[in-house]
Amino acid sequence: MNGIKKISLLILSIILIGSMAACVEKKSTLYDYGDKNTIFVDVNNQSIQLELRTTVGEALTTKLVNTNIEDIKNDYNNNKIIYIEYDPNISQNDGGVSIIDLVSKLKFYNSFVKNNMQIVDSSVFTNQSEIDKIKNSKITMIVKITKSNSTATISKSNGVYVIEGNSLKELDKATTMFVLSIYTNPKDRYYLTI
């Protein structure tokens, strides 16, 4: 009888340990989402499903020049104004849809984290001097989105982030990488809480 109690106690202990292990929060890197265009991120202790315009794996092929994910996130979080610069005549098929998607995801993020931040473009100003004043302000981060001859690239030069690509697909990769930089926690080396 004593042996049966020990075996029963051992089995219950194993079940309890297994149950506890299942309750531990699982961490996953962006690389685990390689073929997915939907991820779950934890923003201010709220789980958010984030739909992306490209897969995580494709976004991770974006070249980062003179910057890294940590720089992007820090610069973004340490400014009060994000000035988006782009060609207002760009067609949806040439990247316009990427720009709209990027701005909407940044505004969504701000609603959870930085609700005092403004995202603006040239359309909210009446003249060039107002635009120049905002662009030259110490509280403004400038993000220029452009169709170029380059594959998906995010570069930083003189404090200006340039997101570029030679097609809608390449712009989607670069803008998605920018979004992932903002939403993920670089201190955890790209970990997402799931």
Most confident of 5-9, 88-92, 188-192: 88-92
Tokens of 101: 């998607």
Q: Residue 188: its pLDDT value, please? A: 44
Q: Round to whole Å and give the CA distance between 184 and 20.
A: 27
Nearest-5° Cα angle at 171, 165 to 172: 155
Q: In this structure, is residue 2 part of a structural domain?
A: no
Q: Is residue 4 part of a domain?
A: no
| Nearest one of 156, 151, 144, 157 to 67, comparing CA atoms | 156
Please state the rounded mean pLDDT for residues 141-147. Answer: 96
In a domain, 167, yes or no: yes
pLDDT tens digits, residue range 100-119?
999 999 988 888 776 678 99
Q: Quick one: which of 72, 63, 69, 94 has its CA closest to 160?
A: 72
- Look up the domain containing 47 and give its range: 27-193
- pLDDT tens across 123-133, in order? 889 899 999 99
Is a pLDDT exceeding 80 seen at residue 2? no
Please state the domain count of the chain. Answer: 1
CB atoms within 10 A of CB 112: 13
Span 79-105, pLDDT tens digits: 999 999 999 898 888 888 999 999 999
Q: Over 60: is that where the pLDDT of 182 sits?
A: yes
Q: Mean pLDDT, the chain, as a whole number?
A: 81
**Within-domain flag for 19:** no
DSSP sequence for 89-120? T--GGGTHHHHHHHHHHHHHHHHHS-TT-EEE
Residue 16 lies in a domain: no
